[in-house]
Structure 1
């Protein structure tokens, strides 16, 4: 499988690493850590040198009960960061983490190559036609509700079956607008209990029937630190364990805070000839 990022075909037959860059004051793990441009450039330089293939920029925290951020503020946060990163790292491949079509449009116009949408187009009816017009790869995630309400929407009869149906419907909708490069993300931590997250991870190979690239984003999430009775700051080892399982279950992109460890994980798991 390949995706077209600004004219460059990226081969996803070998798993890739997406480094997380939050430019928000309230992200669950690194909120406020990367708000100054020098800090941002230093962090991105570190992730790229450690082997990140993509950098995913988020300017609106999607943690449970996240505070509202206006569209204008989200755009202004992104514009400055994207410009500086492209000037500093001309070959960088950027993704924008947003569920707003206007934000995605501005980001791509400023050089972003991928749109990463936690709502799969359900929180902004203009998102799918906008992505189709922009002709960029689209990451669609499974979620119910929105960041403010999702944790109250965790009742499922068969969660894996319902997620598969959700993706089938959203993929068909995206295709109807002409979106060709689609990546799916099961949405660990979004409208799911801890137990449900592990059920989805355990059965993640089911999503291979959709014949699309699969992204796993478990990095330092509560499904790890709640089980281990620790904190996000102490959840790196648990993240690596679950990333290993995700690779064995078919993940081709690991979305992570800690790039070096994810790259090492891919190298070691590849020796088993299971990816």
Structure 2
């Protein structure tokens, strides 16, 4: 008789919990946490009564299961929120490349600054920016002095072709003077994205070896500029990046002169 009453109580309690579960929003983590509470609060209230031993065990088991489910729901809901934030930062409407690219080869008849103006207009339509990287390579002067201008031109064309391979299709590297290159980068999120491209270019040049240099590393200087902070049109961006590159070149030459002078003084002192 007592066993039957216990079973009836358990069944009744089970029906009550089922009703509560249907009432709660089980898709929300706080609803499941409320379910987990039944395994802690109610057993504490009735644990001193021996007649409720079976009920206490059932409640604790339900509470443990509810706690596990609650944690899983919480982790999943957190992941969904993070996913929404990521998609907001990088909307799928922003392409990786420009379909109608003003920097493409078929527009080579226009000056680079004008093509860059078109790239700025196209990128800003997607809420993005455009940046310029400017490079000066000592290799041109060294090769032309020892092997002639034709060899230096061929070496610079090779460098330009190799560096284009580390860029996206819409980005463009172009020779503007003897040993000077301009890299135009479109659809930039921010300046850090431009600096990421610069790091890829520098890495490519570190691993590049020219036969004309007999395997010596390619020494270069770099400047950068991003629209609109450092230039509101193509010509201004190129000029700003060139100025930074020339400043870096000057600093490097002064450092070389300082080291040579210090070395000569040490030798004289010895």
Q: If the TM-score is normalised by the length of the shorter chain, which range does it land in? A: under 0.3
Q: Which structure shows the bigger proportion of residues in strand conformation?
A: 1
The structure with higher relative contact order (CA 8 Å, sep 6+) is 1
Q: Which has the larger radius of gyration?
A: 2
- Please give the TM-score of this superposition, normalised by the length of structure 1: 0.25
- Please give the TM-score of this superposition, normalised by the length of structure 2: 0.25
Q: Which structure shows the bigger proportion of residues in helix conformation?
A: 2
